[in-house]
């Protein structure tokens, strides 16, 4: 019944499901704690800077679709958008959200509206002005964002989500106009470009933790905890595998190939 060569993968998948669901349920009783993420702790500073300079905050969740393989990164970016919107509303700062994928717009609108309501400033939210669908084409979107940077000169730029070649273009352009920048992506190709230019950086799964870190949502927090258990299992297998390979036994290799 089980396809040879995929048995171990199926077992690991089921185990991860159990851990993730279990941790999500446990998180409802006690929220897990996270280590400090400097970039996220700097968000109030970024909003304050924007308020002092009377300039907006620019936010983008990059390219990618809610139904694609990079959807987890997009979802993580939207979680941070909710937090930033509430923070900005409290400080009286405009948030401009540049949208690549049209299907994100209704979610973003609802997210930001709820954030402004929580901040006690529902009338300050203007969806048409603040949520801008630019283009579904990569470089048309990229040049439109650069245009927003040059014209509106945001004091802060936050980029969390799946980014492609436009990452360097955004980073350099916002650096040139003097914006403070926080960037985060799990797309390994673009992390180096953010690392050399941006002030704060979230690498890889830190963006998944960002949503949980900021929202204190037990579902997201429990999910992160379950993923961390998965990483621990991976680390244990790797450690045992190295020892086994050095000892001359292929037991772990055979287990992985099962």
Partner 1 sequence: MSLFVRRQIPIVLVFVAALLVMADYFLGFRTTTGPIVTDLQNWGIILSAFALGFGAVNLFYLHTRHISRRTPGQWPFSIWILIMIVVFTIIGVATGPTGPQYSWLYNASYFALSATVYSSLGFYMTTGCYRALRARNAEAALLLVVGAIALLRNAPAVAVGVPIIIPMEAWLSSIPTTSAQRGIMIGAALGAIALGVRTMIGRETGFLGRLTEAERRGGT
Partner 2 sequence: MSKEGAGFWRKLEDVPREILYTILLIVFIIPMLNPIGFPVPISDAVKKWYATIDALPAGSAIMIDFGYSGGGEPELGPLAAAVYHHIFRKGGLKPITMSTSIDGTLLWDKVIAEVNPEKYGRKYGVDYIHIGYISGTETAMAAVGKNLRATTSTDYHGASLDQFPIMQGIADASSFKLLICYTTGGDQSEGWVRQWYTPYKVPYLCAVIAMMVPTMLPYQKAGQIVSLLAGAQAGEMELLINVPGRGIKSADVITLTHILVFAFVVLGNIAYYGRKASERARGG
Interface positions, 160-189, toward partner 1 (CB under 8 A): 165, 168-169, 171-172, 186-188
- The least distance separating partner 2 from the CB of residue 29, rounded to whole angstroms, comes to 37
- Reduced 3-state DSSP string for 135-162: CCCHHHHHHHHHHHHHHHCCCEEEEECC
Q: Which of partner 1, partner 2, none interacts with 50 (beta carbon under 5 to 8 A by kind)?
A: none
Question: What does 106 bind: partner 2, partner 1, none (CB cut-off 5 to 8 Å by kind)?
Answer: partner 1
Q: For residues 233 and 229, give the distance between their C-alpha atoms in angstroms, rounded to a whole number.
A: 6
Q: How many CB atoms lie within 10 A of CB 228?
A: 16
33 is a contact residue toward partner 2 (CB under 8 A):
no
Q: Pairing relation of β-strands 131-133 and 200-203?
A: unpaired
Query: From the list partner 2, partner 1, none, which binds 246 (C-beta under 5 to 8 Å, kind-based)?
Result: none
CB of 69 vs partner 2, minimal distance in Å: 6
Helix crossing, 218-247 with 206-215: angle to 10°?
150
Q: Which is nearer to partner 1, 192 or 250 (CB)?
A: 192
Query: Taking CB under 8 A as the rule, does residue 122 contact partner 1?
Result: no
Query: In this structure, are residues 36 and 210 in contact, taking their beta carbons and an 8 Å threshold?
Result: no
Instruction: Check residue 231 for interaction with partner 1 (CB under 8 A).
Output: yes
7 HSE (CA, 13 A, CB side) = 9
Q: Give the residues lining the site for partner 2 (CB under 8 A).
A: 68-70, 138-139, 164-165, 176, 187-189
């Amino acid at each position: 019944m089980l396809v040879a060569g995929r048995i171990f993968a199926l077992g690991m998948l089921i185990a991860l499901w159990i851990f993730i669901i279990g941790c999500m349920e446990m998180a409802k009783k006690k929220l897990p704690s996270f280590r400090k993420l400097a970039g996220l702790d700097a968000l109030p500073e970024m909003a304050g800077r924007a308020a002092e300079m009377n300039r907006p905050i620019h936010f983008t969740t990059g390219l990618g679709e809610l139904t694609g393989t990079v959807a987890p990164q997009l979802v993580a970016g939207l979680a941070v958008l909710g937090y930033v919107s509430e923070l900005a509303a409290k400080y009286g700062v405009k948030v401009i959200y540049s949208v690549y994928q049209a299907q994100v717009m209704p979610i973003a609108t609802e997210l930001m509206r709820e954030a402004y309501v929580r901040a006690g400033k529902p009338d300050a939210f203007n969806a048409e002005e603040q949520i801008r669908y630019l283009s579904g084409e990569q470089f048309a979107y990229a040049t439109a964002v650069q245009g927003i940077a040059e014209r509106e000169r945001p004091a802060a730029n936050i980029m969390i989500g799946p980014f492609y070649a436009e990452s360097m273009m955004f980073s350099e352009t916002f650096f040139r106009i003097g914006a403070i920048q926080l960037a985060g992506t799990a797309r390994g190709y673009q992390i180096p470009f953010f690392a050399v230019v941006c002030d704060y950086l979230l690498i890889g799964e830190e963006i998944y933790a960002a949503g949980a870190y900021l929202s204190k949502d037990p579902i997201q927090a429990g999910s992160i905890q379950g993923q961390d258990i998965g990483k621990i299992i991976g680390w244990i297998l790797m450690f045992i595998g190295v020892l086994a390979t050095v000892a001359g036994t292929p037991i772990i290799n055979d287990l992985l190939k099962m």
